Structure 1
Amino acid sequence: MLKIDGITAFVAVAEAGSISEAARRLRLSKSVVSERLSEMEKALGATLLHRTTRKLTLTEDGAAFLERATRIAHEVREAAADLAERRGTLTGPLRIAAPVTFGRKHLGPALYPFLADHPGIELTLDLDDRRVDAASEGYDAIIRHGLIADSRLVAWTLARSRRLLVAAPDYLSRYGRPASLADLENHRGIFYANRGVADWRFQGPDGAVIIRGKLAFGVNNGDVMHDAAIAGLGIALLPTFIAGPAIKEGRLVEIDVGCRPEAEFIFMAHPEGRNPSAKLRAIADHLRKAFGDPPYWDREG
């Protein structure tokens, strides 16, 4: 007889790629997860996973079983949460990924009061600046800054994001202050490495304008970009939720080149085909109110 906890363990292992990571996500010991997998394989009369010392892969039977198992595990989890929500309680596990800098500076502080008001929610927040695959890595949702390019995601806007070209006063005194888009091409740039290209994108009267500066420093974290700009390494295009305080303090100077950067947003996105839970919708609504329109980081001072 198949047990739900065995199906849940199998799905978690398939998504995580290892028993140890699945155990961490499920908050169980490795031995318990392994035992549940073995019991389910015995009940099915089939081997679902190839186990070696280096990696874990799905067998042909495992790959065939995974799609339905994933759906079953998700439906059972959501059914239990729906029953609680019918009683007016938001409850159950949620797993969300978000960028490090935004998560530390703004997302975390916005979430704390919501979680205190809804202690039944078991939220795991993974802060990571890489481009997370929400569907294959088992996330209920991801929060991102920019544009959502993954067609498998359904995106909800949480807040607008205004970006500014900035540099340290010391850098501008040494290299001059650009006054046009053409001037930027001769300047050293600090670029977000996860985008894969060293350029700045602006919204011109006839569409997008792309300017390629000289790469001075590339890094995949907004805090480090901010610090590198303050250190005078070059010009950076940063959102105001990162650069705002340093601009007010005079450690960074806004640069006007006569053209606005392309508009971006703070998004929450969930995998297409999944019915988002009431608790996920409630978190999204709370974050919209907490950030405001325009967002509070553009209104302070």
Structure 2
Amino acid sequence: MPNDLKLQGLAAFIAAVEEGSVSAAARRLGCSKSVVSERLVDLERALGTRLLQRTTRRMSLTADGESFLPRARRILAEAKEAVAELSDRRSSLMGPLRISAPVSFGVLHLGPALYAFLAQHPGIDLSLELDDRFVDAASDGFDAVLRHGPVTDCRLVAKRLATSRRVLVASPAYLAREGRPTSLDELCRRNGILYINRETDWRFAVDGGWRVVHPRASLRVNNGMVMRDAAKAGLGLTLLPTFFVRSELESGALEQVEVGAEAEGAELFLAYPREGVVQAKLAALVDSLKRSFGEPPYWDG
């Protein structure tokens, strides 16, 4: 290996390939575009070959780049693993940790839970990105993602953090105006505030199986707090995890609606790539979050 081959150059190269551009790689690495470009140039100079073919419109790997990419990934992974092992021997957790989580849960519950984790492990440099889109932890550069629901990606390891009941709720004003439904059949004729792109979200346990209900959509949105507030405004019924509506149920701003069947619950997971090299930090994070949320979790208490 050339003496002036730097890990930062390897990280810039891998990020540029996986993100598809220098600009996107810079955002992922948290530095400027010019810094990433400089690191790429330094890496190619150290290797004595061109790794990337860059034009104004696109970027592609050269033949040497194709050959070097898996080795670069292995070198960087082994270096990170070595750092993690040294941290474990010192009984301290250090270094960067990048995670993604849904906006609403991040604001309401994950943020406060992370403060205790960071106070216990001050050497960790945590980056938390809140995003309601589906984040691919295996390719988007995250060490872990928080998921509310099943994790079916075989590339990921999923650690359960907590369970969550889901309840059907509406505002007192809506129920006074439209009446309180008492059966699943009645729900089909009501206005529902729905989670976008999830057509089978309203699932209820019936006779050992599941029945999916399709209410009339008064609003579709991909954010739980907006769904909750729309229900408070009287736009219709909505089905939400208890961690969104506990305070509103206690205050009376929302009322739980019973229809003779229990809604399908959900679980919270922390999922991370199988080939990740920050397992010690993630194990500590999982333990800390479990303690913060409780069993059963405080939002179902």
TM-score (norm. length: structure 2): 0.92
1:10 counterpart residue number: 13
Identity fraction in percent: 55
2:255 counterpart residue number: 253
C-alpha contact (below 8 Å) 2:170/2:231 kept by paired residues: yes
1:211 counterpart residue number: 213
User: Distance between the aligned counterparts of 1:247 and 1:86, measured in 2?
Assistant: 48
User: How many angstroms does 1:69 deviate by?
Assistant: 2.1
List per-residue Cα deviations over 1:231-285 (Å, max 9, x = no partner). 1111111111111111111111101111111121111011134355211100100
Letter in 2 for 1:201: R
C-alpha contact (below 8 Å) 2:26/2:33 kept by paired residues: yes
1:189 and 2:198 aligned:
no
Letter in 1 for 2:251: E
List per-residue Cα deviations over 1:45-101 (Å, max 9, x = no partner). 443334344454444543443333223212211211220221111001111000001
The equivalent position to 2:68 in structure 1, one of 61, 65, 70, is 65
1:94 and 2:122 aligned:
no
The equivalent position to 1:277 in structure 2, one of 273, 276, 279, is 279
Distance 1:77 1:172, change over 3 A: same
2:131 counterpart residue number: 128
User: Distance between the aligned counterparts of 1:140 and 1:30, measured in 2?
Assistant: 22
Distance 1:187 1:54, change over 3 A: farther
Correspondences of 1:95-244 after superposition (within 5 Å): 95-195=98-198, 197=199, 199-244=201-246
Please state whether the residue corresponding to 2:132 is helix, strand or coil.
coil
Please state whether the residue corresponding to 1:125 is helix, strand or coil.
strand
C-alpha contact (below 8 Å) 1:198/1:215 kept by paired residues: no
Please state whether the residue corresponding to 1:260 is helix, strand or coil.
coil
User: Distance between the aligned counterparts of 1:107 and 1:40, measured in 2?
Assistant: 39
List per-residue Cα deviations over 1:93-126 (Å, max 9, x = no partner). 1110000011111101011121122121111111
User: How many angstroms does 1:229 deviate by?
Assistant: 0.7
2:34 counterpart residue number: 31
User: Distance between the aligned counterparts of 2:152 and 2:98, measured in 1?
Assistant: 21
C-alpha contact (below 8 Å) 1:202/1:208 kept by paired residues: yes
C-alpha contact (below 8 Å) 2:84/2:278 kept by paired residues: no
User: Distance between the aligned counterparts of 2:213 and 2:50, measured in 1?
Assistant: 54
Structure 1 unaligned residues grouped into runs of 5+: none
Structure 2 unaligned residues grouped into runs of 5+: none
The equivalent position to 2:51 in structure 1, one of 48, 52, 68, is 48
Letter in 2 for 1:123: L
TM-score (norm. length: structure 1): 0.92
Distance 1:241 1:51, change over 3 A: same
The equivalent position to 1:289 in structure 2, one of 272, 276, 291, is 291
Letter in 2 for 1:152: R
User: Distance between the aligned counterparts of 1:171 and 1:97, measured in 2?
Assistant: 35
Please state whether the residue corresponding to 1:28 is helix, strand or coil.
coil
Please state whether the residue corresponding to 2:180 is helix, strand or coil.
coil
Distance 1:145 1:37, change over 3 A: same
| Corresponding pairs, count | 298
C-alpha contact (below 8 Å) 1:163/1:238 kept by paired residues: yes
User: Distance between the aligned counterparts of 2:115 and 2:297, measured in 1?
Assistant: 18
User: How many angstroms does 1:10 deviate by?
Assistant: 0.9
C-alpha contact (below 8 Å) 1:85/1:91 kept by paired residues: no
